[in-house]
Amino acid sequence: MDLWVIVTIGAAAVQTVRFMLQKRLRGLGLSTAGATFSRFVFAAPLAALGLAALMAVRGEALPGIAPAFWAHAATGGLAQIIATFATVALFSERSFAVGVAFTKTEVIQVAAFSALLLGEPVSAPGMAAIAIGVLGVIALSRPPGGWGGMSWRALGLGLLAGGFFGLSAIGYRGATLQVASDDALMRALLALSCVTMMQTLAMAAWMVWREPGELARVARKWRAVLPVGATGMLGSAGWFTAFALQNAAYVRSLGQIELIFSILASVLVFHEKLRAAEIFGMALLLASILMLVLLI
């Protein structure tokens, strides 16, 4: 099995845990901005420590970066902030599942961005696998009452999050390609360190301007925020490494295995029963994943 496959599955598993922790932050009195900021505030120093440790172990100096690195990193970082805002806002929507389903249009949007911005088109088998996966995700995300109660706000937030998550993936893939190193992990950690630092500074400035008391609330909740930052850093390190190894569209498509992890958790931990639509969706998603692993 290719390394990018293993790394992507690991990143998806960690991201599942991180979203569960981040959802809990809204119940602790943090605003959408505060819950979003928590994703970055501890991840930045942890990523920098990881990069320093890797350089010490390898005995290597910091690799050089091309000027285009900063444009890709800034684009990816800003897009992720906007996408995370939209996703956290979805947590308060009654039709949350509907919105989440539309965030997963990200995969198709990544394929388009990849071809247009990075010149990395998706092959015909890859596009077929992506399409099957998206259908599986929609089936998995269908609310028990059907789509009749769909909220236009949830729909809009879902599409917004999907588009900007897609743009962030392309930015991160582009940034890792601008680092002068053959080591995928080195390229990933350097890009991750720079991106998370920019995101932390940008979010802190925004909150001082728009929500001056929220930084203090995040600081008071540091025990709950720290695990979010730690899992965020680990998950991001996995995503960045996968982006350094493979086309972002394939990485994000395989990363939809995260939904299967979430369904399994609900069944095994919370003893919830699977609906027929969920079983059908999981079958489609598994077919998509097998196609990506075997044909790409």
pLDDT for the residue 184: 94
pLDDT for the residue 33: 81
| 124/49 Cα distance (integer angstroms) | 41
| Structure tokens, 129 | 């696998």
pLDDT for the residue 233: 87
**65 in helix, strand or coil?**
strand
| Structure tokens, 196 | 């998370």
pLDDT for the residue 150: 57
pLDDT for the residue 39: 74
pLDDT for the residue 176: 96
pLDDT by 10s per residue, the chain, length 296: 689 999 999 999 888 787 777 666 666 777 878 877 877 888 889 999 999 999 999 998 999 999 999 999 999 999 988 987 887 777 666 555 556 666 777 888 888 889 888 989 888 888 898 888 888 877 776 666 655 555 667 777 878 888 998 999 999 999 999 999 999 999 999 999 999 999 999 989 988 998 888 888 888 888 888 888 888 889 989 999 999 999 999 998 888 888 778 777 667 766 767 777 777 888 888 888 888 877 76
**61 in helix, strand or coil?**
coil
Q: What is the pTM of this model?
A: 0.83
**80 in helix, strand or coil?**
helix
Closest CA to 246 of 6, 62, 15: 6
pLDDT for the residue 94: 52
Query: pLDDT tens digit string along 201-234?
Result: 998 998 899 888 888 888 888 888 888 888 888 9
| 225/227 Cα distance (integer angstroms) | 6
